[in-house]
Chains A and B, each alone.
Chain A
Amino acid sequence: MNRQQTDIALAGGRMHQSLAHDSGRKHVSGRAEYIDDIAEPAGTLHAYLGLSAIAHGEIVSVDLDAVRAAPGVVGVLTAADIPGENDVSPPHKHDDPVFAEGRVEFLGQPVFAVIGETRDAARRASRLAKITYAPLAAALDVDAARRAGGTLVTEPLTLVRGDVDAGLSRAKNRVSGRMTIGGQDHFYLEGQIAFALPGEDEDVIVHSSTQHPSEVQLMVAHVLGISQHAVTVNVRRMGGGFGGKETQGNLFAAVAALAAKRFNRPVKIRPDRDDDMIATGKRHDFVVDYDVGYDDDGRIEAVDAVYAARCGFSADLSGPVTDRALFHADNAYFYPDVRVRSEPLKTNTVSNTAFRGFGGPQGMLAAERWIEDIAYALGRDPLEIRKANFYGQGDRNITPYHQTVEDNIIDRLVGELEASADYRARREAILAFNRTSPVLRKGIALTPVKFGISFTATWYNQAGALVHIYRDGSIHLSHGGTEMGQGLYTKVAQVLADAFGVGIDRIKIMGTTTGKVPNTSATAASSGSDLNGMAAADAARQIKARLEAHAARLYEVPADEILWVPNGIEAGGRFVPFTELVASAYLNRVQLSAAGFYKTPKIHWDRGSGRGRPFLYYAYGASVSEVTIDTLTGEYQVDRVDILHDVGRSLNPAIDLGQIEGGFIQGMGWLTTEELWWDEKGELRTHAPSTYKIPLASDVPPIFNVNLCDWSANREETIGRSKAVGEPPLMLAMSVVEALSMAVASVADYKVAPRLDTPVTPERVLMGVERMRAGG
């Protein structure tokens, strides 16, 4: 199978059509407006953060005189200047101050902000503070945090099904081990930014690069000590989010709003890239300890595992992230007896946060690790072990959280990919190659993905949309989702255009604002088009019902003889253009505006008992990767990747293919080249693209065959029977790790599992090769 190509339509308005991204022409001509591009009103000030210089300690004194006296400085803000609460903790735990007070808990924590006439003046002045500390012991990683007593930032979770101790002792074979999984910086190309404009009374408008405008609104209100209704948060688009703007924009928005109200002038804040990387949270790194029992065919009988995460100094989203790691501890595999536990550890590092996959990738990666252990122990192809453990149809289909897997398509999907990628023949050829190749070695692996869709916080699974039709027939669309490049705005507009039978050019997609749709959820958990698409469809349904009743009256035909056809209706056989229908509806006083609403059905989750149905459905996928390593240097390349991925009935195949390709490459970066490195003082030393390597065009596999699973339709009644696509493809990159592992294992004739930790940098490959040479 070759790479799937899809012709992109520049006009149209149907679901399931490869319509061009709504901002495409603006993107290519530089006219798409990001927050830093908004024209600054006269008098705009610029804020810059002053960061702590140690990882943990009491603040003894703060001398900001030199900062205040620096040229161009208008003022400084510290915790004492906050009229409301000094907290931007998303779970409202009061552990996430805007400005550190009394003590600092990681190196790079904001202590104050300086406000200047120019960004340059504020930035220079921020370095002039004299802060003295009484240092305290700093626990920087999982091991150190455990040694220091294992303080947790939030309640841990345990999922249990069956009797794991009995299952383990019954099992004929056992394997135990530890896997260390690295974190990842989001490196959204547009950094964090907020721009606040003061208004009358308590009002403030904040342009914030955020995936979660309603939360920014709430946080700004808390910090300023005012009501939510006084705060309006706007975001037209982000220059990338990936989870890094789910909560991490809160602090910047709060500082900009605080300064704007304090000085009664517009205030913009935009950290430079280094400070952005140092002061904002990342993907959690994990240490997973496991004990697994299995039979002689490689069937898993019991799994007991602990997932410890470096959460950083505060809870942020670490609770739901570590929960989701456990929800994906099974990936696509059935465990008869299972107990998995999370350990969300407090460390003196930046507070880790959401990142595409949200803990799921770490959970799945560990599952693939023990599959690999079993395969090497039994001398089998890991793919056979995977297949032996896939969830069944009708039996062997209960997850560790007691949800039944009802929509399993993994056997068919993997079977098709195995054939189209010619997996078996290529594996044989690689085994033959490795027998005679002295320096270069190859590896190949096929890994599956099963990813649960819905927020595990059940109340988040709601969405609103606001649709107006104006007298001239033009349509205004607002919804609670945010656009960060994933094509959500285009997809929701397609849903609406499809409902009215009009072209997408009739629809104006409005930037997201808290003033139009209240109490929205983060655009996260891959849920954007599922939720907002349904809300928009609900608004369209209401307006269409009114238009149908109006047309039935006007044209004196029964309502069931009104048919929606492209660009209008047929009323008793007569075509009425959409614009004419709307114009007459207005004159007849028909309401042409509706608020749509949607809440995901069927889901429930009881965290206390670890039981429920947290997910409406699952998205599936699989990939085959082939790599070549140099056993003398550890350098390697990914030669070929084949992907088959399930998006149900795609709302927009072009956008979905882009998400899959991009997700895979980003996942490959996480697992191969992106290494975060803190020194012993707790200073992040990989704080710019010079030292932190994300994938480049030249890192894309030269053969990269990506295809949608065209026969799949969502069993659940989602919008157009589509499935979510934002996160699941990231985990397709697991096959790169497994393929590298095979290449390394060849050095010891595949007798020992190499157990490479991630990211699998060339150094780790080389160390793995040397371990193999030394006898495993």
Chain B
Amino acid sequence: MHVTLSVNGTEHALDIDPRTTLLDALRDHLDLTGTKKGCDHGQCGACTILLDGKRINSCLTLAVMHEGDAITTVEGLSTPDALSPLQAAFVAHDGYQCGYCTPGQICSATGMLEEIAAGWPSHVTDDLEADPALTREEISERMSGNLCRCSAYPNIVDAIAEVGGAAK
């Protein structure tokens, strides 16, 4: 089946099995291997990408459903010489160990900070009317869909807090 995917600003025409997940299309057909496969079940977050700026698990959606959507992967967040603020903060805070979850963490955090800015409440937000504060608790709760088996969580949260201008 034909589909045209817009990934990191570039259009790619693909002829793929309609059952191909967006994750497999990115990795196997477009050679964008920055996005990782941890479980293929929507349960680990390693495959998180941004779809029109919103974070999703790319293993849980089919590529053919995304004709016309703006897809951003970890490769699209930076140029080789200039890291995005979140990417630079992960380096400065040692926000990884093995690095396998890292692309998913960074895409997820990028989308998450937008959600907070848009005033979306989370499970731990006390006041649903006010804008949520960027506390460590909020960050941890909102990042709980991205597993890190190395448990680099304290540094991951530090990095995100710094970029988001966390309330202490």
Is A39 interfacial (CB 8 A cutoff)? yes
- Are the C-beta atoms of A662 and B33 separated by less than 8 Å? no
Number of A residues with CB within 8 Å of any CB on chain B: 62
- Are the C-beta atoms of A697 and B146 separated by less than 8 Å? yes
Is A636 interfacial (CB 8 A cutoff)? no
- Are the C-beta atoms of B43 and A688 separated by less than 8 Å? yes
Given contacts A25-B83, A239-B36, A697-B139, contact A30 B152 (CB under 8 A): no
Given contacts A8-B92, A189-B148, A189-B149, contact A485 B39 (CB under 8 A): no
- Are the C-beta atoms of B100 and A30 separated by less than 8 Å? no
- In the complex, which residues of chain A have a beta carbon less than 8 angstroms from the beta carbon of B75? 29-31
Q: How far is the CA of A401 from the CA of B35 in the complex (A)?
A: 49
Least Cβ–Cβ distance between B121 and chain A, in angstroms: 15
- Are the C-beta atoms of B94 and A189 separated by less than 8 Å? no
Least Cβ–Cβ distance between B47 and chain A, in angstroms: 11
- Are the C-beta atoms of A273 and B40 separated by less than 8 Å? yes
Is A501 interfacial (CB 8 A cutoff)? no
Selected contact of B74 from candidates A30, A486, A662, CB within 8 Å:
A30
Is A28 interfacial (CB 8 A cutoff)? yes
Q: How far is the CA of A239 from the CA of B39 in the complex (A)?
A: 13
Least Cβ–Cβ distance between B57 and chain A, in angstroms: 12
Q: How far is the CA of A695 from the CA of B150 in the complex (A)?
A: 10
Least Cβ–Cβ distance between A684 and chain B, in angstroms: 15
Contact stretch, chosen from A90-98, A219-227, A653-661, A735-743: A653-661
Q: A188, A189, A237, A663 — which one has the most chain B CB atoms within 10 A of its CB?
A: A189
Given contacts A272-B40, A273-B38, contact A658 B100 (CB under 8 A): no
- Are the C-beta atoms of B91 and A10 separated by less than 8 Å? yes
Is B68 interfacial (CB 8 A cutoff)? no
Q: How far is the CA of A487 from the CA of B98 in the complex (A)?
A: 8
Given contacts A189-B36, A273-B39, A697-B157, contact A28 B139 (CB under 8 A): no
- Are the C-beta atoms of A697 and B100 separated by less than 8 Å? no
Q: A3, A484, A696 — which one has the most chain B CB atoms within 10 A of its CB?
A: A696
Q: How far is the CA of A623 from the CA of B163 in the complex (A)?
A: 31
Contact residues of B between 86 and 142, Cβ < 8 Å to A? 86-88, 90-103, 106, 136-137, 139-141
- In the complex, which residues of chain B have a beta carbon less than 8 angstroms from the beta carbon of A272? 40
- In the complex, which residues of chain B have a beta carbon less than 8 angstroms from the beta carbon of A30? 32-35, 73-75, 103
Q: How far is the CA of A29 from the CA of B88 in the complex (A)?
A: 10
Least Cβ–Cβ distance between A28 and chain B, in angstroms: 4
- Are the C-beta atoms of A487 and B97 separated by less than 8 Å? yes
Is A690 interfacial (CB 8 A cutoff)? yes
Q: B35, B83, B100 — which one has the most chain A CB atoms within 10 A of its CB?
A: B100
Q: B32, B43, B99, B136 — which one has the most chain A CB atoms within 10 A of its CB?
A: B99
Selected contact of B149 from candidates A240, A487, A654, CB within 8 Å:
A240
Q: How far is the CA of A272 from the CA of B38 in the complex (A)?
A: 9
- In the complex, which residues of chain B have a beta carbon less than 8 angstroms from the beta carbon of A666? 149-151
Q: B87, B156, B157 — which one has the most chain A CB atoms within 10 A of its CB?
A: B87
Q: How far is the CA of A659 from the CA of B98 in the complex (A)?
A: 11
Contact stretch, chosen from A16-24, A125-133, A315-323, A455-463: A16-24
Is A36 interfacial (CB 8 A cutoff)? yes
- Binary contact readout A683-714 vs B (1 if CB under 8 angstroms, 0 otherwise): 00000111000111110101010100000000
Least Cβ–Cβ distance between A379 and chain B, in angstroms: 37
- In the complex, which residues of chain B have a beta carbon less than 8 angstroms from the beta carbon of A663? 151
- Are the C-beta atoms of A27 and B153 separated by less than 8 Å? no
Given contacts A21-B96, A661-B151, contact A189 B101 (CB under 8 A): yes
- In the complex, which residues of chain A have a beta carbon less than 8 angstroms from the beta carbon of B155? 658, 661
Q: How far is the CA of A20 from the CA of B101 in the complex (A)?
A: 18
Least Cβ–Cβ distance between B51 and chain A, in angstroms: 17
- In the complex, which residues of chain B have a beta carbon less than 8 angstroms from the beta carbon of A664? 151
Selected contact of A31 from candidates B34, B37, B140, B144, CB within 8 Å:
B34
- Binary contact readout B71-82 vs A (1 if CB under 8 angstroms, 0 otherwise): 001110110100
7 A-B interface contacts by CB (under 8 A): A20-B94, A21-B97, A240-B97, A240-B98, A689-B43, A696-B143, A697-B153
